[in-house]
Structure 1
Amino acid sequence: MAPVDIEDVWDMLGFGRMQLAIFFTCCVLQMYVSNEQLGLSVILVAGAGELKIDNERMGWLIACVFFAQVIFGHYFGYMTDKIGRLKVLFRTLIMTILSSFLSAFMPEYWSFLVLRFIVGVFITGLAVTLLTYLSEFCSLALRPKVHNFVSYSIGVSMIYVPLAALSLMYLNVHVHVWENYEITNWRVLILINLLPGILGVCLLYRLPESPKFYLSINKHEEAMVVLEKCCSVNKGKNVTLASLGVDKVTQSRLRDSQIEHN
């Protein structure tokens, strides 16, 4: 039997429970990305006095974070094609959460800047990969709609961060640690912004790698395993790919394993 194009397989499987789980996970990750990217401006206003951040320092801090995203965007795009979408998502998510968590406890400007630069480096992996990962589980017809709905998570983040900041302002958090160092509102806000990322770690842990990635590196058996799992989750355990007339899958523009890339 001739191989079936993977796009036709997605048309057969539809947008079921597997896609909903991946869609929800990507919404949570997109919200976390926006928390880190856009929430920094709120954090800096609150922490400017404690970290002695004037207008020049604030400009350098914001520029440094976005500069990290610009210079590492190409690298993480390359890595998603080399080691897989899920590995890049999971590893960069862990590193982003860890570096952001540490930045919440930095006592002065320069250590805070270094750690926020590291956040900018790893948040890039999430930003450039999550939509690719989601789209590779959806049919061509659904991809624009799915991407559009995921973008609403940015709006949710724009409500979440200011609302959390407003709540903390009324709480007026001041926990003395040593000498002049205190845990104050803006440090707690960084930790609150981490919550969608922590949820994202739990959700990503149970999701499969993209079958399109497996096909691109000539791992057809692994791709079939993922597709079989999607089939059982969406259609029920009694439905298999074979029962739908699919014994082997392929996709256009498969990578040539003989080509060496530099």
Structure 2
Amino acid sequence: MNNQLNEFDAVMEQIGFGKVHCYVMLTLGLLQMLTIHETMGMGIIAPAAVCDLRMSIVQVSTITAAAFLGIICSSYFWGYITDKMGRRWILLHTISISNICSIISMFMVSFTSFFVMRFLTGIFVAGPSFVAVTYLSEFCNKQILARTVTHMYMFTGFAMFYCPSWATLFLASNFMDFEIGFIGRLTLRPWRLLGCMFMLPGLIAFFLLLRMPESPKFLFMVGETKRGMAVMDWISTKNTGHPLSPEQVELMRKFQESTEVIRQKRSNNFLQQMMSDAMPLFRKPYVGFYVGSCSVMFSLGLVANGFGIWFTAMRNRSNMRLDNKADMTLCKILFSTAAKIEDSEPDLVV
């Protein structure tokens, strides 16, 4: 396996960092923004949708968690099937369906339908969330991999500015205060348009991805030698101004021959292969590292995502108070039962 990686990395190192890597980082960075918007953005959308969907506070919390539930249910499946169908194929299809589900969810008129569509959005947004970093890594050699992945995840920070910026325009300004009646109970309000704005980076990324080829490493791994060579030529031409040299072509042929041996050892049974690939994680010597890494990621996710949702909910609850909040502690502002609350949750339950 080391020989394979060395051959592929040797060619990638000779090609060097260039236009292709910048383009891929931008495209996949926008997909990271999409993931944050479709999960954390519900901390802003759900409280604003309370009146239209007539939700209780428990239902608001459920809507906020719906996309996370979808990601948890589908992430392993997308991570595995990407090795069968291709990185770009999975990204294009999951982006398309997640964007469609996201738009449809913004026009739901009941809690149940809204929850179902947000859950489906989470299922498909898990694709770019987990596949993007794999796709990016297969355009890089080991020397630049850490740097490019770091730059891609910088877009998560941009998403943290994007969400509240649009929310301020749509939900906190009189300029965007409107109400347009549609068919039946459907009423167009600012929060519905805000939800559509959250998927804008994903839409841009979809069109950028159309100009990208499939991962060259994946193509070699599945035996698509001609297509793999064409992609490597394309990367070399874009980055260096000339195609692969004969020496580089020979290295890639050796890499392809090595991957063919591995390919012949793999099972044709999909479920059996999924189980056999996952089981080593639960045995020594990997089980300790696996449980430890899961615990670390769970803690990081709990702090990062949980705090973001909690802070948004507390801010919304504070803004719903109609009385004077001067000289009051945070706890009294949030939990005092004597205060008058605008559109309190029990009044909204039908």
Counterpart of 1:39? Answer: 41
The Cα of 1:85 is off from its aligned counterpart by 0.1
Point out the structure with max Rg over C-alpha.
Answer: 2
Selected match of 2:181 from 176, 184, 195:
176
Matched, 1:161 2:163: yes
The Cα of 1:151 is off from its aligned counterpart by 1.4
Counterpart of 2:222? Answer: 217
The Cα of 1:20 is off from its aligned counterpart by 1.1
Specify the code of the residue in structure 2 equivalent to 1:256: R
Decide whether the 8 Å contact of 2:225 with 2:256 is kept in 1. Answer: no
Q: How many angstroms apart in 2 are the aligned matches of 1:192 and 1:61?
A: 18
Question: Aligned with 2:182: secondary structure?
Answer: strand
Write 1 or 2 for the structure with the bigger share of helix.
2
The Cα of 1:182 is off from its aligned counterpart by 1.2
Cα distance, 1:168–1:245 mapped onto 2, change above 3 Å: closer
Decide whether the 8 Å contact of 1:47 with 1:186 is kept in 2. Answer: yes
Question: Aligned with 1:5: secondary structure?
Answer: helix
Counterpart of 2:143? Answer: 141
Decide whether the 8 Å contact of 2:109 with 2:185 is kept in 1. Answer: no
Matched, 1:21 2:26: no
Decide whether the 8 Å contact of 2:108 with 2:186 is kept in 1. Answer: no
| Alignment TM-score, normalising by the size of structure 1 | 0.93
Query: Runs of 4 or more off by more than 4 Å in structure 1?
Result: none
Q: How many angstroms apart in 2 are the aligned matches of 1:43 and 1:52?
A: 14
| Alignment TM-score, normalising by the size of structure 2 | 0.70
Counterpart of 2:81? Answer: 79
Decide whether the 8 Å contact of 1:211 with 1:223 is kept in 2. Answer: yes
Q: How many angstroms apart in 1 are the aligned matches of 2:55 and 2:147?
A: 42
5+ unaligned residues in a row in structure 2: which ranges? Answer: 273-350
5+ unaligned residues in a row in structure 1: which ranges? Answer: none
Q: How many angstroms apart in 1 are the aligned matches of 2:42 and 2:227?
A: 40
The number of residues matched between the two structures is: 259
Matched, 1:259 2:266: yes
Q: Which shows bigger deviation, 178-187 or 32-41?
A: 178-187
Q: Among the aligned pairs, what percent are the same residue? A: 27
The Cα of 1:243 is off from its aligned counterpart by 5.2
Specify the code of the residue in structure 1 equivalent to 2:223: N
C-alpha offsets along residues 209-230 of structure 1, whole Å, 9 cap, x if unaligned?
A: 0011112112222211100011
Matched, 1:200 2:202: no
Which of 1 and 2 has higher RCO (CA within 8 Å, sep 6+)?
Answer: 1
Q: Which shows bigger deviation, 153-162 or 55-64?
A: 55-64
Decide whether the 8 Å contact of 1:241 with 1:247 is kept in 2. Answer: no
